Amino acid sequence: MSKGTYSFTTPIYYVNAAPHLGTAYTTIAADTVARYQRMNGYDVAFVTGMDEHGQKVADTAASKGMTPQAWCDSMESAFRDTWDLLDITYTDFVRTTEPRHARSVKQFWQDLYDRGWCYKGSYEGWYCVHEETYYAEGDLEKNDEGELVCPDCKRPVQKAGGEENWFFKLSEFQDKLLAFYEENPDFIRPETRRNEIVSFVSGGLKDLSISRSTFDWGVPLPFDEGHVAYVWADALLAYFTGVGYADPERAGEFDERWPMQYHFVGKDITRFHCVIWPAMLMAAGLPITHTIFGHGFLLTKGEKMSKSKGNALKPADLVSVFGVDAYRYYFMSDVQFGHDGSISIERMVQVYNADLANTWGNLCSRVFNMTTKYFEGSVPAVSAEALAAANPLRALSDELYAEYDRCLAAADFTGAAAAAQKLASRVNLYVEESAPWNLAKSEETADELAAVIYNALEAIRIIALYLAPLMPNTSAEVFRRLSLGDIVAVTDIEAATTWGGLPAGNAVETGDPLFPRLDAAAIDLSIE
């Protein structure tokens, strides 16, 4: 029985460049939630996609000598292949140039127009094509050459607008938004982002220009076909398209899935998600996504890493050295979601060796080896009393689901990884304390030996379950080595992690080390 729907999104990424470590970071986080909530019994919708309209993409295509559509088509495989490489289990991949998405955009804006939220006007201001945003003159900065530049990306801005455009009456939502933030303290996470948004909205809101008539690379507005929707007035609606809005082939799905639990975004785009998007939804009389989580930036040498600064090592480069699972684990465990985090190859090797090679991988090797040595490679049988007897692993394990679930429900991936590691470290210590190699010396301690090995194997089974959303491949491999079923078939992780689930007699295969130790000096990569 499903616990209900659990739906969320990554940003719909611009196709001006291929995915990089930053976009992969958000996507892996969303995938960790997807995998966990499936194991937790929810019916998951995980929407991602490509943001293909707007001036930035049109300019990129022109610089490549391609039509915008041809350029976008050529980028699809770059995105899909990267997500496949990282084992991302999205349920819908929305391209904003698809007819089904144009239908969403048209239906939504027609509705807002009919409700009286749109009007024609004109605005001239400073526009940053890279950020696809207007800035007030007072917010601009100057570069060394004295040019006015965007306060976010520091690129020169251009004077734009002046012609007639359609506007959305965003200014009317100031009080409603402030009241909404007040009543829904979880709407903007983490707290720092919430404070920024509250203070921004308290400063007053201007109406938003939602159309462009100076170029045609976009979805035409249904009530004025000479105008195309502004790229954000288009892309946010991909969240709707991904759960069947305005789609006759998916009737009923949108009502089941909207509002969503989360939009996972970087802090660069929280304003669009926490101000414009909820105002659009309020105007349409629709419920609002439960939480916008604005995570921090990946930093290299103290600076935001981005595709344009050329400091973008490709996800595939890291996967080839560390493997997919260790890649996912590093970013999820070491860069606290919500904070900026510095990344480096040295740190990645350190985390790999400490948590994966020395703790988790080593634990599996040791205990599987001892099972082969003392019990001919099968899970020892233990008496009902021995199974029921208190042991430190069980005591810790019994408390873990609540802690782990709390972390993952709150997108605290570092906390979830730490919960699993805590049990792994405890098992390593337990093995030391119980010294199975001494217990094996005498027949008198045979029952005790069986209990120690059983407990250690059982804890390994449970750790594999908790690590599966982060490291799906190695957890599946541990399940295989324990002759357990397919780990992705688990739909009740709370029941599955209840102590005592490992059947006696299951064959146990030692296999190769799951995470062979790495030598930083031998790795010829750097994240610049």
Binding site for ligand MSP (CB under 6 A): 11-14, 22-23, 25-26, 51, 235-236, 238, 265-266, 268-269, 297-298, 304-306
What residues does 6 pair with on adjacent strands?
A: 44
211 and 312 in contact (C-beta within 8 Å)? Answer: no
For the CB of residue 287, give the shortest distance to ligand MSP in the complex, in Å. 18
Please name which of 128, 126, 212 lies closest in space to residue 166, comparing C-alpha atoms: 212
Residue nearest to ligand MSP (CB): 22
Residue 243's SS3 state is: coil
Distances (CA, A) of 492 to 37, 90, 476: 9, 20, 16
Distances (CA, A) of 326 to 15, 82, 165, 360, 483: 27, 16, 49, 12, 23
For the CB of residue 297, give the shortest distance to ligand MSP in the complex, in Å. 4
| Bridge-based pairing state of the strands 220-221 and 224-229 | antiparallel
For the CB of residue 194, give the shortest distance to ligand MSP in the complex, in Å. 17
**Cis previous bond, 190, omega within 30:** yes
Please identify, using beta-carbon distances, which residue of 318 and 367 lies nearer to ligand MSP.
Answer: 318
Please identify, using beta-carbon distances, which residue of 154 and 441 lies nearer to ligand MSP.
Answer: 154
Please identify, using beta-carbon distances, which residue of 80 and 373 lies nearer to ligand MSP.
Answer: 80
What residues does 420 pair with on adjacent strands?
A: none
Residues 6+ apart with CB under 8 A from 255: none
322 and 517 in contact (C-beta within 8 Å)? Answer: no
| Distance separating alpha carbons of residues 96 and 102, to the nearest angstrom | 7
For the CB of residue 204, give the shortest distance to ligand MSP in the complex, in Å. 24
Please identify, using beta-carbon distances, which residue of 269 and 282 lies nearer to ligand MSP.
Answer: 269
| Residue 232 φ/ψ, nearest 5 degrees | -75, -30
Please identify, using beta-carbon distances, which residue of 25 and 352 lies nearer to ligand MSP.
Answer: 25
For the CB of residue 26, give the shortest distance to ligand MSP in the complex, in Å. 4
Largest CA distance in the chain: 91
For the CB of residue 420, give the shortest distance to ligand MSP in the complex, in Å. 24
36 burial type by CB count under 10 A (0-12 exposed, 13-18 middle, 19+ buried): buried
For the CB of residue 311, give the shortest distance to ligand MSP in the complex, in Å. 9
What residues does 211 pair with on adjacent strands?
A: 229
Cα dihedral 230, 233, 234, 236, rounded to 10, equals 140
For the CB of residue 309, give the shortest distance to ligand MSP in the complex, in Å. 9
Please identify, using beta-carbon distances, which residue of 48 and 371 lies nearer to ligand MSP.
Answer: 48
Please identify, using beta-carbon distances, which residue of 89 and 311 lies nearer to ligand MSP.
Answer: 311
For the CB of residue 351, give the shortest distance to ligand MSP in the complex, in Å. 18
Please identify, using beta-carbon distances, which residue of 9 and 397 lies nearer to ligand MSP.
Answer: 9
- Which H helix or E strand runs over 472? helix 472-481
Please identify, using beta-carbon distances, which residue of 208 and 357 lies nearer to ligand MSP.
Answer: 208
